[in-house]
Structure 1
Amino acid sequence: MKLPQIQIKTEMAQIDIRQTPGQQTIRQPSADMSIEQPKAELRIDTTPGKLTIDQTQAWEDMQLISPLRMTEIAAEVGNSSVLEGIARRAEQGQQLMKIEQQVSPMVEQAITNSGETYTSPQITFIPSVFAVKVDYEPGELNILSKENKPQMTVQIRQPEHHYTPGKVEVALKRYESIKFAVSHLYSEVN
């Protein structure tokens, strides 16, 4: 004898998954930079040296004198000669007033007043030693410099970021199912 049988047929559900990946782009633009270097400022001040050569005394020693200077020298010599003459006469007058105290002041005065004493001839056209005066004032040099710092300008650029998010689509491709069947319902009896 055959007994009835129940047959169960099941089908699992199927899920359909479709995925679209996300897209991302990152770009970093270069920064804008400018550098400017101003020139340094330089200033140079110079004072030239000064050389002075005075040969007036050398020319006077060689008797090569300008007419103006010759007049000044003659006036100085004349003035000093007059003063010496006045002093000599005053002294000689004093000596004559005291004639009783001295032996013979007139003889001495006659010798003194007779003229200049003899001098040996000399070479007068060679200037004396150190007759030429030399003076030197050194020059000065002043250097002023000023450095100028570089001028930098930087403009930063932000990164460019683009992102497209991905998608996940989930769908039911097939529903689950259960089927029941009964077999051997009718059997032969022997």
Structure 2
Amino acid sequence: MRLPQIRMESQPALISIQTQNATQTIQQPKADQEILQPKAEITIRTTPSRLTIDQSKAWHDMGLRTAKQLHEDATRQGYQKVMQGISRRVREGTEQMKIENGGDPLLRQAVNNANRPEKQFNIGWVPSPFAVDIDYQPSDVHIDVRANAPIINNRPNKPVIQYQPGYAETGIRQEADLHIDFENLYFRGFQFEMSI
């Protein structure tokens, strides 16, 4: 006895998807920059040095003097001698006025005035040491520096952006299918085979 059979064969639907990735490029141009550096301003002021040499005392020590200087020296020495003589005479007169104090001032003054002191002789240097006066004033240097700030001009550039969008395409690669076979089925006395 044959049993009725139903056979079913099916295949699923298959979907196909094709994609294209999006692309993006970004370029950043460098900024335009300009830098100007002004030079510093420098001012230098100098006062020249000064050297003074005075050798008049050396010339004087060697006897090399002008007529005016000789006259002034003689006048000065004569004045000093006169004042010394006046001083000695005043001192001697005062001693003689006080003769009652004793001490025989007349005799002592006569001996002192008769025997003048001996002149001393020694080695001397002509001109005398340090007879030349030297004076030196160093120069002064004044430096003024004024720094100038840099001048910076900066212009940024916008980025260059290129964008291409991606896409996705879908489709049916395989459609769904169902196949049914009926065997040995009797329907109201007929054998029936059916295929879907």
Same fold (TM over 0.5): yes
Distance 1:148 1:127, change over 3 A: same
| Residues in 1 aligned to 2:106 and 2:20: alpha-carbon distance in whole angstroms | 156
Partner of 2:150: 151
| Residues 161/65 of structure 1: CA separation in 2 closer, same or farther (3 Å cut) | same
TM-score, normalising length: structure 1:
0.55
Give the RMSD, CA atoms, in angstroms: 5.3
1:15-94 alignment, distance < 5 Å: 24-94=24-94
- Asked which structure has the greater RCO (Cα within 8 Å, sep 6+), the reply is 1
- Alignment TM-score, normalising by the size of structure 2: 0.54
Moved more, 87-96 or 157-166: 87-96
Corresponding residue SS for 1:69:
helix
Letter in 2 for 1:127: V
- Report how far residue 25 of structure 1 moved: 4.0
- Please say if residues 59 and 127 of structure 1, whose CA atoms lie closer than 8 Å, have aligned partners that are also in contact: no
Deviations 1:80-120 (A, max 9, x none): 122112112223434555398356467437636xxx87758
1:130 aligns with 2:133: no
Distance 1:148 1:95 in 2: 85
8 Å CA contact 1:40–1:146 kept in 2: the answer is yes
Question: What's 2:114 paired with?
Answer: 111
Identify the residue that residue 161 of structure 1 maps to in structure 2.
161
Distance, in Å, in 2 between the alignment partners of 1:104 and 1:143 is: 76
- CA distance, structure 1, for counterparts of residue 130 and residue 24 of structure 2: 100
Deviates more, 1:93-102 or 1:69-78: 93-102
- Bigger drift between 147-156 and 48-57 goes to 147-156
CA contact (8 A) 2:26 2:162 kept: yes
For 1:73 and 1:146, the matched residues in 2 are separated by: 56
Report how far residue 32 of structure 1 moved.
Answer: 0.9
Residue ranges of structure 1 left out of the alignment (5+ in a row): 1-12, 177-190
Match of 2:163, SS?
strand
Q: Secondary structure at the match of 2:26?
A: strand
Deviates more, 1:77-86 or 1:130-139: 130-139
Secondary structure of the residue aligned to 1:74 is helix
**Inter-CA distance 102–40: structure 2 relative to 1 (3 Å threshold):** closer
